[in-house]
Chain A
């Protein structure tokens, strides 16, 4: 094998200088990107916490949200091309409308998925691997359905908000979009955390996560809790889809969910699947690591970094950094 390597040089090059130079840029961008991962990861984590099921089709729930966002922008009269000049109030209004539409679409998809694909299996008491294969089938079906409706190509980008540099952090430009993404992710995470840890319905979710049978005996409606869990995950994925479309306006493409889904799942595993705080932490860590890796190895290796992180984490700490704990969250 030696001539093979000698003729072609090394397979991977390390660019430590680039990493040092881009460090703060990568940090800012990684935190913004990590926010999106974290929001999608919350959906994986919630469903896993309650059902011990990796909802493989959650990435498609996200993609449906992305298409809903695009269609809402289009329906509101925005066309691909130049970014329109809007007042702050209008921007917030339109974004809010798009957010609601995306959340409705994603939440609806998630609930439908639960109803059509998972509930019949639960009724039949199927083993867990069957759930996973059904999830793969559902993921295929939704993905290909979107392909038939919207075609193979990504939708042309529509931007409501042009990225503008607000301030600089150690020389790295922090844009308005970075700030929105980060703040929104943290805010939505707080809402989700409040919901699960402080409300009555959230208590039901935690009860089912901890012990479904006992929870049923205590008067918790298990089926309803499961639907709510899927709904909450779907709503968060819808919101994440809107923010993703703000950062990457050409993001609506039929197979766009796979990579993002696997990264969000990685984030969930990284932080400790079944753990809300873990999802947030894992999302940010993955966003950062991925961006640093991109500078170190070159842009085309970006996706590999996520997979390698996933494998390394699962090998050495299968329960993630914070461990599984939805059912054991504080009372």
Chain B
């Protein structure tokens, strides 16, 4: 962890610095109109942004769903530096929880749809603990491969276990006993998702600024050193894994409710890679960055339908190019590692701190050519 002062381009730095120097109410004063605008996007249906191929509110819901997933995966990959290639597994578990407890195809006791959202989170958290406990002792590449294996196991179980209904799947997910869907149109689903995203962002933001968040960053930057300095590495890794899993499960349950149908087809590795691509493209460890990444990943293919066929090809190439020229993503993380140190800094110098953590993906880049 080095302290960078003047090496970054001055303009971007100053915007970030200005933002950090604003008081909390001033930040809110800027944020609230933006949030209101985001809420009303599907209603306004702005001409240049609106999608031509897909219904715009539907597309917006998809973007919001990816954004939620990206926030969850960012906790695991960006904050704690655990490369999880099987995140779609948690997404699948959440979707199946919603399906099993609301679909008429399921023989389980039925619940109102909204109850399945917290239930999905609880059950994916249990899955997170079950999967995390044995595997989080592994590191780096090995962890990536094992999580990939777990993601595939969950998908294969959904393929092959009778009660999960394989390809025929569950219909009428999210409907009540009269068969009425929970929300009539996509805009309402979008609003629900955005509200959840804001709540999750606040919670995750608080976590990041807490002792837990600092532990995650220390693990991400150097696990051995963190351990020596007394950070309970394993426990905090599980924490990150479980919180990430819960958000993934929540997102899966929302997806299942909106679509009204769940089968084994939408939980393959490619989806997992797209989730990861959203995080890495935007900038792992930076919440604004991953939201941007999610928008890029989910929105562009829907906006430019003519590209849909080349979608994944472009992705692959873009991922290579980006990793070569900007390994920290579009917006790299500037982890405010010392939340209190920042305040002290401000009091002393009257300006924002310039601590750089960079992202999980460029931890070794310090001093290297950029």
A116-153 vs B, Cβ < 8 Å mask (1 yes, 0 no): 11001100111111101110111111111100100000
Q: A121-B323, A304-B153, A311-B134 are in contact. Are A132 and B144 (CB under 8 A)?
A: yes
**B148 contacts which chain A residues (CB < 8 A)?**
262
**B283 contacts which chain A residues (CB < 8 A)?**
none
Selected contact of A140 from candidates B140, B146, B153, B315, CB within 8 Å: B315
Interface residues of A in 269-312 (CB under 8 A from B): 269, 300-301, 303-304, 307-308, 310-311
B152 touches A311 (CB 8 A): no
Residues of A whose CB lies within 8 Å of any CB of B are: 1, 3-4, 7-9, 11-12, 53-54, 116-117, 120-121, 124-130, 132-134, 136-145, 148, 258, 262, 265, 269, 300-301, 303-304, 307-308, 310-311, 314-315, 318
User: A119 to nearest B CB, angstroms?
Assistant: 10
The 10 A-B pairs of least Cβ separation, nearest first, read: A137-B319, A141-B316, A140-B316, A144-B313, A127-B364, A307-B149, A137-B320, A144-B312, A134-B323, A300-B160
| A contact face: mostly helix, strand, loop, or mixed | helix
CA distance A143 to B269 in the complex (A): 13
CA distance A110 to B148 in the complex (A): 23
Selected contact of B312 from candidates A9, A128, A140, A310, CB within 8 Å: A140
CA distance A298 to B318 in the complex (A): 41
User: A260 to nearest B CB, angstroms?
Assistant: 13
**A303 contacts which chain B residues (CB < 8 A)?**
152, 156
Interface residues of B in 139-155 (CB under 8 A from A): 140-142, 144-146, 148-150, 152-153
CA distance A315 to B133 in the complex (A): 10
User: A138 to nearest B CB, angstroms?
Assistant: 6
User: A94 to nearest B CB, angstroms?
Assistant: 33
**A138 contacts which chain B residues (CB < 8 A)?**
316, 320
User: B76 to nearest A CB, angstroms?
Assistant: 13
Kindly specify which of B40-48, B65-73, B197-205, B355-363 makes contact with the partner chain.
B355-363
Total number of residue pairs linking A and B with CB closer than 8 Å: 155
CA distance A293 to B363 in the complex (A): 42
Q: A54-B141, A138-B316, A304-B153 are in contact. Are A129 and B361 (CB under 8 A)?
A: yes
CA distance A142 to B364 in the complex (A): 28
A137 touches B152 (CB 8 A): no
Selected contact of B365 from candidates A11, A117, A127, A141, CB within 8 Å: A127
Q: A126-B327, A129-B83 are in contact. Are A134 and B138 (CB under 8 A)?
A: no
Determine whether B256 belongs to the interface, using a CB cutoff of 8 Å to chain A. no
A141 touches B317 (CB 8 A): yes
- Nearest chain A residue, comparing its CB with the CB of B280: A133
**A4 contacts which chain B residues (CB < 8 A)?**
107-108, 163
CA distance A130 to B276 in the complex (A): 12
**A130 contacts which chain B residues (CB < 8 A)?**
323, 327, 361-362
B138 touches A318 (CB 8 A): yes
Q: A11-B162, A127-B365, A148-B310 are in contact. Are A54 and B323 (CB under 8 A)?
A: no
- Nearest chain A residue, comparing its CB with the CB of B138: A314
User: A163 to nearest B CB, angstroms?
Assistant: 28
CA distance A303 to B152 in the complex (A): 9
Selected contact of B140 from candidates A8, A129, A136, A148, CB within 8 Å: A129
B268-289 vs A, Cβ < 8 Å mask (1 yes, 0 no): 0110010010001000000000
B312-336 vs A, Cβ < 8 Å mask (1 yes, 0 no): 1101111110011001000000000
A125 touches B365 (CB 8 A): yes
B320 touches A148 (CB 8 A): no
Determine whether B305 belongs to the interface, using a CB cutoff of 8 Å to chain A. no
User: B1 to nearest A CB, angstroms?
Assistant: 14
- Category for how many chain B residues contact A: 35 or more
Selected contact of A314 from candidates B146, B159, B327, CB within 8 Å: B146
- Nearest chain A residue, comparing its CB with the CB of B369: A124
- Nearest chain B residue, comparing its CB with the CB of A3: B107
CA distance A129 to B140 in the complex (A): 7
B108 touches A11 (CB 8 A): no
Jot down 28 A-B pairs with beta carbons below 8 A, ordered by A. Answer: A8-B163, A54-B145, A125-B369, A127-B327, A130-B323, A132-B141, A133-B319, A133-B323, A133-B361, A134-B319, A134-B324, A136-B276, A137-B319, A137-B323, A138-B320, A139-B316, A141-B315, A141-B316, A141-B320, A143-B316, A144-B311, A262-B152, A265-B145, A300-B159, A303-B152, A307-B149, A311-B146, A318-B138
CA distance A56 to B108 in the complex (A): 41
A120 touches B152 (CB 8 A): no
CA distance A301 to B162 in the complex (A): 13
User: B272 to nearest A CB, angstroms?
Assistant: 10
Q: A310-B145, A318-B142 are in contact. Are A140 and B324 (CB under 8 A)?
A: no
**A132 contacts which chain B residues (CB < 8 A)?**
83, 140-141, 144
- Nearest chain A residue, comparing its CB with the CB of B83: A129
CA distance A1 to B327 in the complex (A): 46
B142 touches A314 (CB 8 A): yes
Q: A140-B312, A141-B313, A311-B150 are in contact. Are A126 and B319 (CB under 8 A)?
A: no
A4, A126, A130: which has the most chain B beta carbons within 10 Å? Answer: A130
Q: A137-B318, A144-B316, A148-B313 are in contact. Are A315 and B134 (CB under 8 A)?
A: yes
A311 touches B313 (CB 8 A): no
Selected contact of B149 from candidates A124, A137, A262, CB within 8 Å: A262
**B140 contacts which chain A residues (CB < 8 A)?**
128-129, 132
**A143 contacts which chain B residues (CB < 8 A)?**
312, 316
Selected contact of A125 from candidates B135, B309, B324, B364, CB within 8 Å: B364
Determine whether B207 belongs to the interface, using a CB cutoff of 8 Å to chain A. no
Interface residues of B in 111-147 (CB under 8 A from A): 134-135, 137-138, 140-142, 144-146
User: B154 to nearest A CB, angstroms?
Assistant: 10
Determine whether B157 belongs to the interface, using a CB cutoff of 8 Å to chain A. yes
**A53 contacts which chain B residues (CB < 8 A)?**
141
